[in-house]
Amino acid sequence: MTRLGTAITETIVHDYGTSAFLSRLSDPFWFQAFGAVLGMDWHSSGITTSVMGALKRGLASRADELGLYICGGRGRSSRDTPHELRALAERRGFDGDALVRTSRLTARVDNNAVVDGFQIYLHSFMVTAQGEWAVVQQGLNDASGTARRYHWHSAAVQDFVAQPHTGVVGEHLGTIMNLVDGAAKPAQTAMLELASKPPTKTLSAARHLRMPAHHPVLAEDVDLKRLAAVLAVAYERGLHDFAELLLLEKLGPRTLQSLALVAEVVHGTPCRFADPARFSFAHGGKDRHPFPVPLKTFDASIDFLRIALDAAKTGDKEKLEGFRRLERFARGVEARLQPEADFDAVVAHENAISSALDGRSVFHDERTGRCGKSPQRSLF
């Protein structure tokens, strides 16, 4: 996850800049698709901890080069955020007090001003070299055992007390009294002073992603026409040969399938992520849904992106440009394609070839039949 997540992030920053990456990260639908491409359980609350932890580890050594810094994290790491931000500010010339105030205010808004029964336990604060920031944080409801994720992006925050979120992810568990809704003007002064004077109006959050209760990936969770286009690009000879030509190298169909989905995560528009479960067909899921993570394919995706990024740094942008063209090509195939994917057949095929691709899950080593994680290699 760390290596692939870092490579995808670098590709987005290379092609679109750090601001665009923060914009994507603050979109709950894109975030869920991103986590699925990285092999996480497609609807698990653990996707937040795993993705942000992987990015913080992977980007640390490249932070100055990319101009992208990640502070905070889960539990104790979240409480270290002010110290990390001040240390970063001293090194990079930021206004440390302003960043710490922003960090604390976003946490207090979601912990105290959004009265929904969730207490924040994860707080990740990202800031660019230009001072733009984004926050991803998650809260836990002890009574229900469920989590809720909150997304922020400075570009979308005109006022911390007037609809500041870019998105919220979580199940509907009853009335939410939202002190930062635009209609909650009578309570805003009290909120900023951290007093408790909640309004009585029930309000909804922007771009609210609700994940289903069932654990497996089902056909109704996936846009089958979009999945069919990716499979056609990978497995239909003529389309496969042309996609290879775009990328300027020979690729097996399974790797091409993964790269087409990764390319959409990098280059796709927001409307493309309404069905985040579809992106689990890139590298499966560590819970075996819809199939075990094919480590050989996972490594091939990482290798392609890393080689393309390294080449781009020396001025050779052919592979990265081919990667961009692959996304456009798959989208064009989708526009012309009539049949939908046979969901059950696709899942059956992936499970049938799992052993050959070094399929792995947290429960079982598909190569040897042993239960538990392999002592030689862990997924993460």
pLDDT of residue 43: 76
Sort strands 114-115 and 177-178 into parallel, antiparallel or unpaired.
antiparallel
pLDDT of residue 370: 54
pLDDT of residue 243: 95
pLDDT of residue 8: 98
Among 122-136, 171-185, 188-202, where is mean pLDDT lowest?
A: 188-202
Burial 203-235 (b: 16+ CB within 10 A, else e): bebeeebebeeeeebeeebbbbebbbbbbbbbe
- Given pLDDT bands bounded at 50, 70 and 90, which one contains residue 209? confident
Q: pLDDT at residue 337 above 50?
A: yes
Residue 207 DSSP class:
S
pLDDT of residue 131: 93
Nearest to 30 by CA among 8, 46, 15: 8
- Given pLDDT bands bounded at 50, 70 and 90, which one contains residue 2? very high
Q: pLDDT at residue 175 above 70?
A: no
pLDDT of residue 115: 55
In this prediction, what percent of the chain has a pLDDT beyond 90?
66
Q: How far apart are CA 241 and CA 220, in angstroms?
A: 31
**Better-scored residue on pLDDT, 228 or 364:** 228
Q: How far apart are CA 265 and CA 269, in angstroms?
A: 9
Among 121-130, 173-182, 191-200, where is mean pLDDT lowest?
A: 191-200
Burial 66-101 (b: 16+ CB within 10 A, else e): bbbbbbbbbeebbeebbebbbebbeeeebebeebbe
Chain segment 275-300, per-residue pLDDT in tens:
999 999 999 999 899 999 999 999 99
- Given pLDDT bands bounded at 50, 70 and 90, which one contains residue 167? confident
- Given pLDDT bands bounded at 50, 70 and 90, which one contains residue 373? very low
Chain segment 86-145, per-residue pLDDT in tens:
999 999 999 999 999 999 999 888 887 665 678 899 999 999 999 999 999 999 888 878
Quick one: average pLDDT of 351-371?
A: 78
**Better-scored residue on pLDDT, 137 or 200:** 137
Locate the domains of the chain by residue range.
44-209, 219-360
